[in-house]
Structure 1
Amino acid sequence: MGHREDLLEGAKKCLVEKGFVRTTARDIVSASGTNLASIGYHYGSKDALLTQAFIALMEEWGEIFQSGVTGAGGSLERFRQVWEGVLAQHEESGRVWSASLEVALSGDRLPDLRAMLAASQAEGRRGLISMLTGTPEDELDERDERTLGTFYQALLNGLMIQWLFDPKSAPSAAEFTEGMRRASEALTRPAADPE
């Protein structure tokens, strides 16, 4: 591996161990065995490197369980399998989710990092749609991303916040799926005739 890859691996390690806010450039250099100048040369800034590390962690996280998803695209079976995978990885991904919440709750203290993470949301939304529906990402358009993608992202964020707050009371994949089934059923029920 070269310095660029070493830096990315070191930054991923730091994100998991320390989060965005507490990770310094020196932490990344120490974890990667590189030097401070390498961060600027390869990534432009520590925040840009941490953002790329976060994206890489999310991609790795999704790949861990995406290959085992077998249900038909858009089915309740596939929905349940995806959330089973998400919840099975909560121990490993919990610190990364905590780190992203640090940035979200930082207000104006980390504007550049927030802007970079916000810009990466479109990619994450497309990935979620693909996972849950089986549709290849290159077939999705902006409307898909802004509607279905934001919906799935809200489900994912909400589930992870519940898990971070209190893992014991967070829903199982089966409970989460049953909630989706019941909500969908209620939404598609014919409206009662007004009398």
Structure 2
Amino acid sequence: MGHREDLLEGAKRCLLEKGFVRTTARDIVKESVTNLASIGYHYGSKDKLLAEAYVSLIEGLSDDFLPAAEASGGDTEPGSLDRFQEVWSNIIATMQGPGSMWRLSVEIVAMGDQLPAVRDHLALAQREAARGLIPLFFGGREEDVPEGDVDSVGQFYNTLMTGLICQYVFDPATAPTADQLTEGLRRVIGAAADGRK
């Protein structure tokens, strides 16, 4: 690995151990066995490096979100309530472990105005996250998702994700289960259908 990759891996370890605010450039350099100048050369700033490290950590979890049948080459019913329940169950499982990295998301939200470079970088990544969530629920390929779907369905799932992250970081014992989310969606769909009659 070169310095760029070493810095990214070191930044990931620092984020998991210390979070955004407490991680210094010197921490990253020590963890990656590189030098301070490498951060500016490869990433422009410590904050941009940390933002890329955070995105990389999230991307590393995305395979854990897949429905089991799809992950093993099988097929589940895209767009079904069963698929909705299974995907949220998988996502929630990544939030329940000790030392869940999702606390970093809450730190970003809380400190966003103090970390403008991180916020701006992640605002762009959030749109792509919305695009990436859609195939989990509906099947298909991320690159085929229309922009209008990203702005509606993708943002709907992003909003659910952000709310769940906050609830699980704040109090996992009272955060909703995938079954509860699915029942809530079932009732919302039923009420909407009744309202159209």
Say whether the fold is shared (TM-score over 0.5).
Answer: yes
Which residue in 2 is equivalent to 1:155? 160
Deviation track 1:86-124 (CA, whole Å, cap 9, x = no partner) reads 111114596432222222222532222211111111111
Distance 1:93 1:189, change over 3 A: farther
SS of the aligned residue for 1:105 comes to: helix
How many residues matched? 192
CA contact (8 A) 1:69 1:81 kept: no
Is 1:114 the counterpart of 2:119 in the alignment?
yes
- Aligned identity (percent) is 50
Structure 1 distance, partners of 2:85, 2:46, is: 37
Distance 1:69 1:15, change over 3 A: farther
CA contact (8 A) 1:74 1:133 kept: yes
Which residue in 1 is equivalent to 2:87? 82
Structure 2 distance, partners of 1:69, 1:50, is: 34
Which residue in 2 is equivalent to 1:30? 30
- State how 1:64-79 maps to structure 2 within 5 Å: 64-66=64-66, 68=68, 70=70, 71-79=76-84
Is 1:19 the counterpart of 2:19 in the alignment?
yes
Is 1:41 the counterpart of 2:41 in the alignment?
yes
Structure 1 distance, partners of 2:143, 2:62, is: 17
Amino acid at match of 1:18: K
For structure 1, the 5+ residue unaligned runs are none
Structure 1 residues 58-67 or 26-35, which shifts more? 58-67
RMSD between superposed Cα atoms in Å: 1.8
Distance 1:94 1:159, change over 3 A: farther
Which residue in 1 is equivalent to 2:146? 141
- State how 1:166-177 maps to structure 2 within 5 Å: 166-177=171-182
Structure 2 distance, partners of 1:30, 1:107, is: 26
Following TM superposition, by how much is the alpha carbon of 1:45 offset from its aligned partner in structure 2, in angstroms? 1.0
CA contact (8 A) 1:7 1:34 kept: yes
SS of the aligned residue for 1:145 comes to: helix
For structure 2, the 5+ residue unaligned runs are 71-75
Q: TM-score of the superposition, structure 1-length normalised?
A: 0.90
1:185 to 166, 184, 190: 190
Runs of 4+ in 1 over 4 A off after TM superposition: 92-95
Amino acid at match of 2:38: S
Structure 2 distance, partners of 1:89, 1:47, is: 25
Q: TM-score of the superposition, structure 2-length normalised?
A: 0.89
CA contact (8 A) 1:7 1:32 kept: yes
